[in-house]
Amino acid sequence: MPGRHWTMLAGAAYGPAVTHSPAVVTVGPLMPDLVAALEERYAARPLESLDSAAGSGAGVRVAVTTGRTGVRADTLDRLPDLGAVVHFGVGHDRTDLAALAARGVVASTTPDVLTDCVADTAVGLVIDVMRRLSAADRFVRRGEWARPGGGSYAFPLARRVSGARVGILGLGRIGKAVAARLEAFGCAVSYTGSGPQDGVDLPLVADLVELAREVDVLVLACALTDRTRGAVDTAVLDALGPDGFLVNVARGAVVDEAAMVAALEAGRLGGAGLDVFADEPHVPAALLERDDVVLLPHLASGTVETRAAMRDLVLANVASFLDDGRLVTPLG
């Protein structure tokens, strides 16, 4: 439950701004137990609690954040001694990596430990949106099944998942895990990305539009980069077509949301399963009442086991950097 796992950290919660800097600061909302561990081990403070005067962030060596918040250039200006940015999660698109590199600041994420749960969520969304499970749940809750003339035949037929043709944009750790799971369903899986993957026995389709045209469902599992931002546009959506489905566990900005909404409203796209959005936590209002869309609050890695593993890897990265200047899971 979000209320148990997340808290917005604000300087006001810690009383007056402090004028001396800890070795570690937090930037944005983090899991309470991660915050507690950072406070206990390093006397960590939220960035907002530091005095805003120039130079007040001197001495801070590590900033802990998430891909949803990140560390921008203006934050670096406040932290002249910063050496590392440690991300909780695999996303880092809100962090200005170029600015970090220019200042010799390194960064880490928490790869591998969340791969399985994100892949499970992706497959869950594929099943849900194609078989219309959430829509069927609402059908029952509204009492429509029990109405005179209702019954199972009153609910629209869904699409079969087993044997479906699946395309994956981004065949990294998560993409490979999604592929393995869907192959177990007898799905024909193909992919596109920056190039062929060594040791992967799956068809590579170089063009995203062509991949969308060939599949029943397109799963997005890529990083958000200049190349992938807005990659799923009107052309890709039209290639998927009225019988095709889009599933996104990557980043919301990979999709042109306005184009996706327009395609759904015009019946040019069969449905969508979405865990991420361009302007989280805000979801396009036009999607909220649609039965052909499944909406999740960016919870793909949201299990007790995975979040604990992510927390532990963040703490390992912080400890390693403060000990010898090296990160356990560095970017790049």
Q: What does the angle CA 106 – CA 108 – CA 18 come to, to the nearest 5 degrees?
A: 75
Eight-class DSSP state of 28? S
Burial letters 57-75, b for 16+ CB under 10 A, else e: beebbbbbbbbbbbbeeeb
| Residue of 251, 257, 307, 311 marked catalytic | 251
Q: Is 298 a catalytic residue?
A: yes
Residue whose token pair is 């801070």:
60
- List of residues 6+ apart from 2 with CB closer than 8 A: 297
282: β partners = 279
Do residues 135 and 127 make contact, with C-beta atoms less than 8 angstroms apart? no
111 C-beta neighbours (distance < 10 Å), count? 16
Q: Is 183 a catalytic residue?
A: no
| Residue of 147, 227, 265, 280 marked catalytic | 280
Q: Is 181 a catalytic residue?
A: no
Burial class (CB in 10 A: 0-12, 13-18, 19+), 15: exposed
| Residue of 68, 78, 87, 298 marked catalytic | 298
Active site residues: 251, 280, 298
